[in-house]
Structure 1
Amino acid sequence: MPVPVGVLRLPRGPEGCSRGFSPTSPRFQALLGGDAVTTAAAQGARAALRQRYLRGLAAARGRPTRFCLRAGVRVDAVFGAADVDAVAFQVDALQTPLGVQAAALLRCADVLAYSFLLD
């Protein structure tokens, strides 16, 4: 029988309807790790990395790919697409131990690693 787990709830915000910290509170500023200039630079770096990642995924369309999944399962497929929120990969010609699927969605939570194979 599973053990019940308690739910952690953040305190109500200063306006009474939101949860979390006020952006002007010292605790919130400490969590950000610095001033607005540092935060803007970090946000710009994250945006650039995300853009490179998405362009890489777009260039990978149609390439043979090997996915390493949980429990040591390795499957080969032709990369199709990935959604913006990185929840799932769409693949074609998925070769599983049980057979070949014409099209499938692989949940990103189940994918440990993936690599593009040479043609």
Structure 2
Amino acid sequence: MSAPVAVIRLPHGPDGSSRGFDPMSPRFQALGPTSLSSMVSGNTTDLEQEQQSRVMLRERYLRSLLAMAGRPVSFTMYEQVNVTALFGASDIDILNFQVSELQTPLGIQREALLRCSDVIAYSFEL
């Protein structure tokens, strides 16, 4: 007999028919980007500065992914598991890493996908 699966429903938005959230609600402001308060107050210089910082950090991260290609990378995973592998690629949303020769405590996997949500940190030699 199969087990029933709960269905998660998103709450209705502020107008009753949409699935969006009120940008002025305390929950949205607490979980939303810090630039939201800058947009509401009209301070565009803070917003532009934050966007430039995000652009710089995103570019550095993408360059690090390019530099890792074909190199041995050490991954620190949850539950204090450390694995090493040859980095291959990442999907477009950077949700998974494709690796080769994954050395785990249980043995070596020739090819594998690592979920980015399971990775705490990674390091590699330049």
What's the TM-score, normalizing by structure 2?
A: 0.70
Instruction: Letter of the 1:21 partner, please give it.
Output: D
**Ranges in structure 1 where 5+ consecutive residues have no aligned partner:** none
Q: CA deviation at 1:61?
A: 0.5
- Conservation of the 8 A alpha-carbon contact between 2:12 and 2:19: no
Q: Tell me, in whole angstroms, the C-alpha distance in 1 between the residues paired with 2:85 and 2:70.
A: 9
- Conservation of the 8 A alpha-carbon contact between 1:66 and 1:76: yes
Q: CA deviation at 1:38?
A: 1.7
Q: Tell me, in whole angstroms, the C-alpha distance in 2 between the residues paired with 1:17 and 1:46.
A: 29
Query: How many aligned residue pairs are there?
Result: 108
- Conservation of the 8 A alpha-carbon contact between 1:68 and 1:75: yes
Tell me the percent identity: 43
Q: Tell me, in whole angstroms, the C-alpha distance in 2 between the residues paired with 1:7 and 1:18.
A: 10
Runs of 4+ in 1 over 3 A off after TM superposition: none
Q: CA deviation at 1:105?
A: 0.5
Task: Give the aligned partner of residue 119 of structure 2.
Answer: 111
2:29 matched to 1:21?
no
Task: Give the aligned partner of residue 101 of structure 1.
Answer: 109
C-alpha distance 85-101 of structure 1, shift in aligned 2 (>3 A): same
Choose 50-59 or 38-47, whichever is displaced more.
38-47
Task: Give the aligned partner of residue 12 of structure 1.
Answer: 14
- The structure 1 residue matched to 2:89, chosen from 64, 68, 81, is 81
**Ranges in structure 2 where 5+ consecutive residues have no aligned partner:** 1-5, 30-35
Q: Tell me, in whole angstroms, the C-alpha distance in 2 between the residues paired with 1:43 and 1:13.
A: 30
Instruction: Letter of the 2:21 partner, please give it.
Output: G
- Conservation of the 8 A alpha-carbon contact between 1:79 and 1:92: yes
